[in-house]
Structure 1
Amino acid sequence: MPMSRRALAAAAVALVLPLSACGSGDDGSGSTDASGKVEGDITFQTWNLRANFKSYFEGVIADFEHKYPGTHVKWVDQPAEGYPDKLSADAAGGTLPDVVNVSPDLVAPLAKAGLALDLDKSAAKYRSEYLPGAWAGHQVPGLSGTYAFPWYLNTGPLFYNKALFTKAGLDPEQPPRTYDELFADALRMAEKSDGKVATLANVPTIEDFGRYGVPLMNEQGTGFAFNDAKGVKLLTKYKELYDAKALDPQALTATPESSGKKFLTGAVAMNPGSALDLGNFKKNAPGLYRNIGITDQITSTGHVNMYVMGVMVNSRTEHTPAAVAFAHFVTDARNQMSFAKKVAIFPSTAGSLDDPYFTKDDGTDETRVRTAAAKSLKNAVNYTPVLFSDQMKTALRNEVAKALQGKESPKAALDNAVAAADRLLQQG
């Protein structure tokens, strides 16, 4: 996928390795010692970035080779389609590049197969340079260690319609920030509008359970746990919203596009979005644009969700010092800041979000959203478990739909979703 879309979606695509590749730890032919001289030829693989950022990456590589004269970096860029399959084939065939652009869901099977270098062992000195939540983004349940340098981040603010809040007798300058506040405001909105205005247009996802404070997996990483009492409480509250029409009746089949249209027409009071949406509001719904509010994602933990991309080092590289040095170089504060000014992403390096570029609001739509998102990212976490695949997401969504429709109790629905996810986890 194009970079910004991948960063926003962070889709979990299962990457299946042959049993012969399975293992644990960095037990390949390469060395885990990154303290030696930085030299040698390495290959760096990105994911559908050459078309738009060719000059940027060529500049980064030139700078690195100038800093370390004994190195040479070969850059390869893979197309969006089939990238997980390409990684899987390279892993099985022993042709995985030295430094690889990955997302958390893609690094997990590589780490389990012993192909991802544990940076907590080989590059621990760099850990303090990154936001804690970003560094933890490529940790894998059931394994100790961190398996990729955090690279760019993304998150999305929440838009709300101040006029609808005012009409419902709610304070438009005090939007809900926790789920309990959200539920109370949503029920009031539905009551005051006779069910004509819903507050939300989407059913709860695994991220919602995380932001609500539900434990998503057991400590061993061997099974899912979002069917506990707190998880059942969250789904029960959504059922209450659904029955009161505080959750849009079409939420069961909603897409980002359909939810956006509902918000645009005033049928929904809150919706996630981006700076691109503000331009759309200004052009197609000037009344909404004049009354738009921007707030953080709803969370009862105090931490919003982040989407994180990473740069992994192949544990079997023949040039560990050079591979680690380059992965760090690509993701250091200077290069991340430069990259962030070319595309709507955020750096994962500590202190970078305090730069005026992310803190100064000049009144434009772009900076309004950028500053709001940057502020929330400082202590954000990646709630989606790295082992939670697309199939698991589908199973959860199907069970949530049954609970909202009254076909199953919230408890039974979550029990079934966890059972399905656990089966898929064992198969993987």
Structure 2
Amino acid sequence: MRHSWTPRSPRRAVTAAVAAAVLLPLSACGGGDDGGSTDASGKVEGKITFQTWNLKANFKSYFEGVIDDFEKEYPGTEVRWVDQPGEGYADKISADAAAGTLPDVVNVSPDLVAPLAKAGLALDLDKAAAKYEKEYLPGAWKSHQVPGTRGTYAFPWYLNTGPLFYNKRLFEEAGLDADKPPKTYDELFDAGLEIAKKSKGDIATLANVPTIEDFGRYGVPLMNKEGTGFTFNDAKGVELLTRYKKLYDAKALDAQALTATPESTGKKFLTEAVAMNPGSALDLEKFKKDAPGLYKNIGITPQISNTGKDNMYVMGVMVNTRTKQTPAAVAFAHFVTDAQRQMSFAKKVAIFPSTKGSLDDPYFTKPDGTDETRVRIAAAKSLKTAVNYTPVLFSEQMKVELRNAVAKALQGKQSPKEALDNAVKACDRLLQQS
């Protein structure tokens, strides 16, 4: 699979395995122009189409097995599985929605479900499938709710998150306690400035500029409750960006952070030029092989947060309101995302189930001495209380506006307040156009 997640972006993977295999936003075809019933209580029967995003290459047998099991459990059903290439998936959903050819069952990220919900194309599960809510983690169930509307518009599917790696040697050389890494932003900024000072600017602590998730973890209110405007330019937001500017000026934030990619920041950490970086179990294996000096000094710590809650990346499975087989579409969407199927899928790729109790399984709690399990346990623990900080109405264009504003502030071209005010204005304009 082309898409992936890291703690820096919902589109980046916590692992390269996920990068190669995981972001499966799904969709299924079958709904036409005629609206179907929103009543899911009828007999589960008929044909539906289930469309995945670039998955057959890696998970063909898994999904064929899921479909076979569903058709056996519900005689008289038939699930047609279609797999689409990864490029242009969001555009395809938009085109299908406009043409009335949106699939019956659609795997969506929260930002993709929002416009479909507002257009009346995403089935409200609070009305059609409320009995299933208790099966999922509360934070996951809420992740597909849209400000300004009432309802939940997708079953939670798999989750992802990731810890931070830090270089114990660099902390020790700066006179810091390597066994007590920063957990809050106050501690992070203090440590960053100290490391930069002791290294005379040679060692940065971070290689990434703040994203909307950082503003959320800092405790900044990101959007009003009505979903009509963004608020990350409030005093707390300005405070965060001002503190990042101080890091940047002190060389505690890497000079190339403005143009950094996950690959470039990973290389900086690998070469011990930065002290902290988001990572995964596969990174540990890479360190072990390519940078044994770094590997022996690796520390693992939760994401930096002032709220006590990590960021959660979540995918979901949506039912098209225009499907002509509502009971079958709802039943299949639930089937794909139930505890048994999620647990099975999680053991095939580095993702985490959104179902209650699944993260208590020994697979996510019992150490076995391997690096992969070490990271998996740390991530699973944080997910029980994690939230999706990125507003569902915060589009890719809006992320670009925020990134550009952050760059202007760090470079001194605008004050942090002016930069964030302009970003909010731009994002509000985009919001009104959507």
TM-score for both structures, normalised by structure 1: 0.94
Residue 275 (structure 1) shift:
1.2
Range that drifts further, 381-390 or 283-292: 381-390
SS in 1 for 2:251: coil
Match status 1:246 vs 2:252: yes
Q: 1:378 aligns with which of 381, 384, 391?
A: 384
Q: Which runs of 5 or more structure 2 residues have no equivalent in the other structure? A: 13-32
What amino acid is the match of 1:147? Y
Match status 1:10 vs 2:10: yes
* Cα separation, partners in 2 of 1:383 and 1:368, compared to 1, 3 Å: same
| Partner Cα separation in structure 2 for residue 402 and residue 96 of structure 1 | 40
User: 1:423: which partner in 2?
Assistant: 429
Structure 1 residue runs of 4 or more that deviate by more than 4 Å after TM superposition:
3-9
| Partner Cα separation in structure 1 for residue 218 and residue 337 of structure 2 | 31
The RMSD of aligned alpha carbons is: 1.6
Residue 6 (structure 1) shift:
9.2
Deviation digits for residues 357-376 of structure 1, max 9, x if unmatched?
Answer: 01112121111111111111
Deviation digits for residues 59-115 of structure 1, max 9, x if unmatched?
Answer: 111111111112111111111112112212221121111111111111111111100
* Cα separation, partners in 2 of 1:6 and 1:193, compared to 1, 3 Å: closer
Match status 1:279 vs 2:285: yes
SS in 1 for 2:345: helix
| Partner Cα separation in structure 2 for residue 56 and residue 7 of structure 1 | 27
Q: 1:56 aligns with which of 56, 62, 84?
A: 62
Residue 285 (structure 1) shift:
1.0
Contact 1:3 1:49 in 2 (8 A): no
User: 1:346: which partner in 2?
Assistant: 352
User: 1:19: which partner in 2?
Assistant: none
Match status 1:145 vs 2:151: yes
Deviation digits for residues 146-166 of structure 1, max 9, x if unmatched?
Answer: 110011111121000011111
User: 2:85: which partner in 1?
Assistant: 79
Residue 271 (structure 1) shift:
0.4
Residue 325 (structure 1) shift:
0.8
User: 1:24: which partner in 2?
Assistant: none
Contact 2:7 2:278 in 1 (8 A): no
1:183-262 paired onto structure 2 within 5 Å: 183-262=189-268
| Partner Cα separation in structure 1 for residue 244 and residue 3 of structure 2 | 33
Residue 214 (structure 1) shift:
0.7
| Partner Cα separation in structure 1 for residue 156 and residue 392 of structure 2 | 14
User: 1:30: which partner in 2?
Assistant: 36
| Partner Cα separation in structure 1 for residue 147 and residue 211 of structure 2 | 20
% identity of equivalent residues = 80
Q: 1:121 aligns with which of 81, 105, 127?
A: 127
Deviation digits for residues 159-203 of structure 1, max 9, x if unmatched?
Answer: 000111111111111111111111111111112212211111111
| Partner Cα separation in structure 2 for residue 390 and residue 396 of structure 1 | 10
Match status 1:323 vs 2:296: no
Residue 355 (structure 1) shift:
0.5
Deviation digits for residues 195-244 of structure 1, max 9, x if unmatched?
Answer: 21111111101110011111111111011110001101101111111111
SS in 2 for 1:54: helix
Contact 2:109 2:314 in 1 (8 A): yes
SS in 2 for 1:293: strand
How many residues were matched structurally? 414
